[in-house]
Amino acid sequence: MAILAILVVSLICGLSMFAVRGASNDQLEVYSWWTGPGEEEGLAAMAKSFEGGNPGVRFVNAAVSGGAGSNAKAILASRLLANDPPDSYQRHAGLELLDDVRSGKVQDLSDMYQQQGWTKVFPKGLVSNLTIDGKIYAVPVNIHRANLMWYTPKTLRELGLSGPPKTWAEFLQQAEVIKAKGKVALALGPEWTQKHLLETVLLGELGADRYDQLWAGQMSWMSPDVGAALATYAKVLAVSDVKSAAGDWQPQLDRVVSGSAVYAVMGDWSSSYLEQTKGLHWQDGYNVAASPGSDGVYDFLSDTFTLPTGARRPDLSRKWLIECGSTDGQNLFNPLKGSIPARTDADAGLYKDYLGWALQQWRDPKVRIVGSLTHGVVANNAYNAEIDSALGLFVQDGDQGKFARTVEQQFRETQ
Residue closer to ligand GAL by CB (options 165, 341) is: 341
Residue closer to ligand GAL by CB (options 34, 50) is: 34
The angle at the Cα of 186, spanning 351 to 146, to the nearest 5 degrees, equals 35
CB of 238 to ligand GAL, least distance (A): 25
Long-range interactions of 22-27: CB distance < 8 A, separation 24+:
23/58, 24/312, 25/312, 25/313, 26/56, 26/57, 26/58, 27/57, 27/58, 27/59, 27/60, 27/313, 27/316
Cβ atoms of 273 and 38 within 8 Å: the answer is yes
* Number of neighbours of residue 112 by Cβ within 10 angstroms: 17
> DSSP string spanning 246-289?
-SSHHHHHHHHHHTSEEEEE--TTHHHIIIIIT---BTTTBEEE
Identify the burial level of 207 via C-beta atoms within 10 angstroms of its C-beta, where 0-12 means exposed, 13-18 middle and 19 or more buried.
Answer: middle
Residue closer to ligand GAL by CB (options 178, 346) is: 346
CB of 48 to ligand GAL, least distance (A): 19
CB of 233 to ligand GAL, least distance (A): 20
Helix, strand, or coil (residue 370): strand
Helix, strand, or coil (residue 174): helix
Residue closer to ligand GAL by CB (options 303, 386) is: 303
Residue closer to ligand GAL by CB (options 42, 204) is: 42
Cβ atoms of 33 and 65 within 8 Å: the answer is yes
Cβ atoms of 359 and 344 within 8 Å: the answer is no
Residue closer to ligand GAL by CB (options 129, 174) is: 129
CB of 195 to ligand GAL, least distance (A): 11
What residues have CB less than 8 Å from 173, skipping those under 6 apart? 165
CA distance 359 to 415: 34
Cβ atoms of 65 and 39 within 8 Å: the answer is no
Cβ atoms of 142 and 302 within 8 Å: the answer is yes
Residue closer to ligand GAL by CB (options 269, 357) is: 269
Residue closer to ligand GAL by CB (options 155, 330) is: 330
CB of 39 to ligand GAL, least distance (A): 6
Residue closer to ligand GAL by CB (options 68, 239) is: 68
Helices (H) and strands (E) in the chain, counts: 19, 15
Residue closer to ligand GAL by CB (options 63, 172) is: 63
Residue 282's φ and ψ, nearest 5 degrees, are -55, 135
Please give the residue ranges that form the binding site for ligand GAL (CB under 6 A).
33-34, 39, 67-69, 92, 144, 249, 267, 269, 301, 303, 375
Residue number with the smallest Cβ distance to ligand GAL: 67
CB of 269 to ligand GAL, least distance (A): 4
CB of 66 to ligand GAL, least distance (A): 8
CB of 5 to ligand GAL, least distance (A): 45
Nearest to 300 by CA among 203, 156, 210: 203
CB of 353 to ligand GAL, least distance (A): 19
CB of 27 to ligand GAL, least distance (A): 24
